A and B are shown apart, each in its own frame.
Chain A
Amino acid sequence: MAEATATATKTIKFIITRQDTPDSAPYKEEFEIPYRANMNVISGLMEIQRNPTTAEGKGTAPVCWESNCLEEVCGACSMVINGKPRQACSALIDQLEQPVRLEPMRTFPVVRDLVINRERMFNALKRVKAWIPIDGTYDLGPGPRLAESKRQWAYELSKCMTCGVCMEACPNVNDRNSFIGPQAISQVRLFNVHPTGEMNKEERLDALMEDGGIEGCGNSQNCVRSCPKGIPLTTSIAAINKDTTKHLFKKWLGM
Chain B
Amino acid sequence: MKGNSYYWRKLHSLLGVIPLGGFILVHALTNYQAFERGPEGFANGVHFINSLPIVPVLEIFGIYLPILFHGIYGLYMAYQSNLNSGQYTYSRNWAFTLQRITGVLTFIFVFWHVYQTRFQVYIGSVTHEELGSTMHQIATNPAFFVMYVVGVLAAVFHFSNGLWAFLISWGITISPRAQKVSSYICMVVFVLVSALFILSLVAFTGDEFKETASAALAWTNIG
What is the interface of chain A, defined by CB distance below 8 A to chain B? 83-84, 169, 171-172, 174, 176-178, 208-222, 225-226, 232, 234-235, 237-246, 248
Which of the candidate stretches B114-122, B167-175, B190-198, B211-219 sits at the interface with the other chain? B167-175
Complex: A112 Cα to B1 Cα, angstroms: 34
Q: A219-B169, A234-B176 are in contact. Are A210 and B6 (CB under 8 A)?
A: yes
Partner of B168 from the list A172, A177, A241 (CB cut-off 8 Å) is A241
CB distance from A178 to the nearest CB of B (A): 7
Complex: A176 Cα to B87 Cα, angstroms: 19
The answer on a CB contact under 8 Å between A212 and B174 is no
Which residues of B in the span 137-179 have a Cβ within 8 Å of any Cβ on A?
164-165, 168-176, 179
The answer on a CB contact under 8 Å between B171 and A211 is no
Partner of A221 from the list B5, B84, B90 (CB cut-off 8 Å) is B90
Which of the candidate stretches B15-23, B62-70, B74-82, B123-131 sits at the interface with the other chain? B74-82
Partner of A174 from the list B5, B6, B82, B172 (CB cut-off 8 Å) is B82
The answer on a CB contact under 8 Å between B5 and A218 is no
Closest to A246 in B: B171
> What are some 18 contacts across the A-B interface (CB < 8 A)?
A171-B83, A172-B80, A176-B82, A209-B6, A210-B4, A215-B10, A219-B92, A220-B96, A221-B96, A222-B90, A222-B92, A234-B179, A238-B171, A238-B173, A239-B174, A240-B171, A241-B168, A241-B171
CB distance from B215 to the nearest CB of A (A): 47
The answer on a CB contact under 8 Å between B88 and A225 is yes
The answer on a CB contact under 8 Å between B5 and A212 is yes
Partner of B170 from the list A234, A235, A245 (CB cut-off 8 Å) is A245
Q: Looking at A172, A211, A217, A244, which has the most chain B CB atoms within 10 Å of its CB?
A: A211
Complex: A234 Cα to B84 Cα, angstroms: 18
Q: Is B27 an interface residue (CB 8 A)?
A: no
The answer on a CB contact under 8 Å between A220 and B92 is yes
Q: Is B9 an interface residue (CB 8 A)?
A: yes
The answer on a CB contact under 8 Å between A211 and B81 is no
Q: Is B44 an interface residue (CB 8 A)?
A: no
Q: Is B93 an interface residue (CB 8 A)?
A: yes
The answer on a CB contact under 8 Å between A238 and B168 is yes
The answer on a CB contact under 8 Å between B5 and A211 is yes
What 3 A-B pairs come out closest when comparing CB atoms? A242-B171, A220-B96, A215-B9
Complex: A210 Cα to B6 Cα, angstroms: 6
Complex: A210 Cα to B9 Cα, angstroms: 11
CB distance from A54 to the nearest CB of B (A): 26
Residues of A within 8 Å of B10, CB to CB, are 215, 248
Task: Other than A221-B96, A235-B176, A240-B171, give 14 A-B pairs with Cβ distance below 8 A.
Answer: A84-B88, A171-B82, A172-B80, A172-B81, A172-B82, A177-B81, A211-B6, A220-B88, A220-B95, A221-B92, A221-B93, A239-B174, A241-B170, A242-B170
